[in-house]
């Protein structure tokens, strides 16, 4: 796998992995811009994620997600917190891998569920069995990320520091 030439980092992982909070910390550490993909989707769509799902379903959400992801690949020095399902789609995963550095923020299912509370505002949140199935399904895709960081039991600032250590160990150069 060749090293990305751009200065972009994409955080991937399941709901509740800490992509947004740790991503903001990592961006601050680097002095880079931070973008939460779900937030950008809401801004572009003019609605909350549950409203987008209600009005257009998952296909409309995924179309917006892809459009915004494509637009982000042209921005230098950016840390992007992707949505939990972004990296699962082959076209998105390939785009991320071609554009920048992927970092999987790992979290166990029990901890993810604790962090997400009752899943309010998360349209794909279902029964325990549905969440477990979704979690298992997505793990195989997250494993494709260049860097892996365990987020359990550590604060976002330490997750960001560990992500940075992993990036540097794999050849990331910060300018």
CA distances from 53 to 62, 88, 116, 149 (A): 10, 18, 18, 30
* pLDDT computed for residue 134 by the predictor: 84
Number of domains observed in the structure of the chain: 1
pLDDT of the residue at 125: 59
User: 3 lies in a domain?
Assistant: no
- Is position 27 within any domain? yes
Range of the domain at 66: 8-169
pLDDT of residue 115: 67
- For 116-151, write each residue's pLDDT tens digit: 676 555 555 567 788 888 889 999 999 999 999 999
**Domain-located, residue 2:** no
Q: Does 137 fall in a domain?
A: yes
Q: Does a structural domain hold residue 1?
A: no
CATH of the domain at 123: 3.40.50.300
Asked if residue 120 is part of any domain, the answer here is: yes
SS3 call for 2: coil
**Tokens 């960081």 label which residue?**
149
The confidence score (pLDDT) of residue 175 equals 66
- Residue 119, sorted as left (phi over 0), alpha (psi -120 to 50) or beta, turns out to be left
Residues 6+ apart with CB under 8 A from 113: 16, 128, 131
The pLDDT of 25-44, averaged and rounded, is 95
* Residue 34 resides in a domain: yes
Whole-number pLDDT of residue 6? 62
- Tens of pLDDT, residue by residue over 75-89, are 999 999 999 899 999
Residue 151 is assigned to a structural domain of this protein: yes
């Amino acid at each position: 796998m060749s090293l990305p030439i751009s200065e972009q980092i994409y955080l991937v992982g399941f709901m509740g992995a800490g992509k947004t909070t740790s991503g903001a910390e990592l961006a601050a550490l680097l002095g880079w811009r931070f973008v939460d993909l779900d937030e950008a989707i809401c801004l572009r769509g003019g609605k909350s994620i549950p409203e987008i799902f209600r009005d257009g379903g998952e296909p409309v959400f995924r179309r917006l997600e892809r459009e915004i992801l494509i637009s982000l690949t042209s921005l230098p020095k950016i840390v992007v917190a992707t949505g939990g399902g972004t990296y699962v789609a082959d076209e998105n995963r390939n785009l991320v891998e071609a554009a920048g550095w992927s970092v999987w923020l790992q979290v166990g299912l029990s901890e993810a569920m604790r962090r997400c509370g009752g899943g309010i505002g998360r349209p794909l949140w279902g029964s325990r069995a549905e969440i477990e199935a979704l979690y298992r399904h997505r793990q195989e895709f997250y494993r494709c990320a260049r860097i892996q960081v365990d987020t359990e039991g550590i604060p976002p600032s330490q997750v960001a520091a560990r992500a940075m250590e992993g990036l540097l160990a794999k050849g990331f150069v910060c300018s």
